[in-house]
Amino acid sequence: MFIKSDAGFKAPLITTIDLACSLNYDYFVRFNRISSAERRFKRFEPRKKTMIEGHLPEKKNSPIIWTIGGGKGGSGKTFVCSAFATLLARLDYTVILIDLDIGAPNLHNFLGIQDPKKSLTLFFERKKELEELPMPTVVPNLRFIAGDIHSLSTEGTRLYHRRKLYNHIPRLKSDYILIDIGAGSDTHVLDTFLLADKKIAVINPETISMENFYQFIKNALFRKLTLAFRPYGSRDLIDQVWKFREHYKLKNIWDLMNWLKINFPFSQSIIESEIASFRIDFLLNQIRTRQDIELGHIIKSAFIKFLDLDVRYAGHIEYKTEVANSIARGYPFMVHYANSPSAQEIETCLYNLIREKEAL
């Protein structure tokens, strides 16, 4: 189930990236005045080569955008996002990590940055361009744009701000852009989620998380359909039909889609193409038992059987105290615990996502 390490018995080779990482880290430690006791607690860990190295995709001119969401708060979205970004950067891709958790940004803590000087607030206030915002981190190839930590009211992020942001994000120069979106499923969150080339959801093996995930998917699909109908001049069609759902005897979004297909034949092709392009990869975080791993397969099966959606199970990450420890201390996990079991599970998930595969 894990990717087997090729260099399992040899001493890990230190690559140039690792070396640069380590030097950068020393500088970072001095700069941020981390105490010597803490420095001794954990040093930079060189990464062992694994199977993933042989299967990396080629770099493209335009950035590949991944968004990580999932509905429920505290499911580990931010952690997974930071871990993927660090890992991709250590695999020699340039990565920009954006914290778009409007209202509750905290991604900088996961990268060991205590007080970011630049943030999205400056972009929203038109003081800086988006290209000027990425700041360096411990990992050489990884740059980071902090969330709106400097704003005192989230009212400040209005619709035109967001539109501008969505236009500017694909113009950033990088191989990968990873976006951490917040919990919940308001329009802002959904629009950001739908922006991506790859939409990733992080869920926990609990009924509550599943409830939120289902709600999130329904809302995202509804939003996608609403946006798709706009160019056809039927902007409010879906909203209006759903508003009078009791009258039309519609129970859920699937009834709604069927109703639209029957009554407005032009909508059939739109709905079908939207459903076909709606693909979600999910991973299970904080699993505690072996039965929990199986839940991933059950969830996937149910989404396909009940809803006919393309949902894929990328893998699982076990609940480990070292993860909680590293978060509490503000250390970047994939730098300090690069070869731990959890890191390997994260690598497996990333491998599946890159290679468009699924968990076994």
Partner 1 sequence: MSSEIKHHLEILELRPGATYPQINQAYHRLKNIYSTESSILSPLTKEFSKKKSNDILRRIEKAHKFLTSHIESVKTNGENHEEPPTDTDPEKSPQKILPFSGRNLRKIRTALGISLSDVSLETKIRIELLKDIENDHYDALPDEIYLRAHIRYLAKILGLNPHKAAEDYLQLFRMHKEAAGEKR
User: Is 83 an interacting residue with respect to partner 1 (CB under 8 A)?
Assistant: no
Distance, CA of 12 to CA of 228 (rounded, Å): 50
Phi-psi map region of 249: left, alpha, beta (phi>0 left; psi -120 to 50 alpha) = left
User: Is 205 an interacting residue with respect to partner 1 (CB under 8 A)?
Assistant: yes
Candidate ranges 57-65, 174-182, 305-313, 323-331; the one touching partner 1 (CB under 8 A): 305-313
Distance, CA of 348 to CA of 342 (rounded, Å): 10
Whose structure tokens read 């250390």?
331
Site for partner 1 in 35-74 (CB under 8 A): none
Closer residue to partner 1 in complex, CB, 168/297: 297
Among residues 299, 314, 323, 359, which is the contact residue for partner 1, using CB under 8 A? Answer: 299
Q: Do 71 and 216 meet the contact criterion of CB atoms below 8 Å apart?
A: yes
Q: Minimum distance from CB of 220 to partner 1 (Å)?
A: 15
- Report the 10 Å Cβ neighbour count for 84: 25
Closer residue to partner 1 in complex, CB, 80/295: 295
Distance, CA of 206 to CA of 295 (rounded, Å): 9
User: Is 306 an interacting residue with respect to partner 1 (CB under 8 A)?
Assistant: yes
Q: Do 186 and 73 meet the contact criterion of CB atoms below 8 Å apart?
A: no
Q: Do 149 and 98 meet the contact criterion of CB atoms below 8 Å apart?
A: no
Site for partner 1 in 210-249 (CB under 8 A): 210-211, 214-215
Closer residue to partner 1 in complex, CB, 117/290: 290
Among residues 16, 153, 207, 321, which is the contact residue for partner 1, using CB under 8 A? Answer: 207
Q: Minimum distance from CB of 243 to partner 1 (Å)?
A: 19
Closer residue to partner 1 in complex, CB, 92/255: 255
Among residues 252, 258, 268, 277, which is the contact residue for partner 1, using CB under 8 A? Answer: 252
Count of residues in contact with partner 1, rule CB under 8 A: 20
Site for partner 1 in 258-297 (CB under 8 A): 290, 295
Distance, CA of 135 to CA of 118 (rounded, Å): 8
User: Is 298 an interacting residue with respect to partner 1 (CB under 8 A)?
Assistant: yes
Distance, CA of 278 to CA of 307 (rounded, Å): 12
User: Is 251 an interacting residue with respect to partner 1 (CB under 8 A)?
Assistant: yes
Contacts of 246 (CB under 8 A, 6+ apart): none
Beta strands in 14-136 (DSSP E): 64-69, 95-100, 135-136
- Give the 3-state secondary structure of residue 88: helix
User: Is 302 an interacting residue with respect to partner 1 (CB under 8 A)?
Assistant: yes
- Would you tell me which residues interact with partner 1 (CB under 8 A)? 205-207, 210-211, 214-215, 251-252, 290, 295, 298-299, 301-307
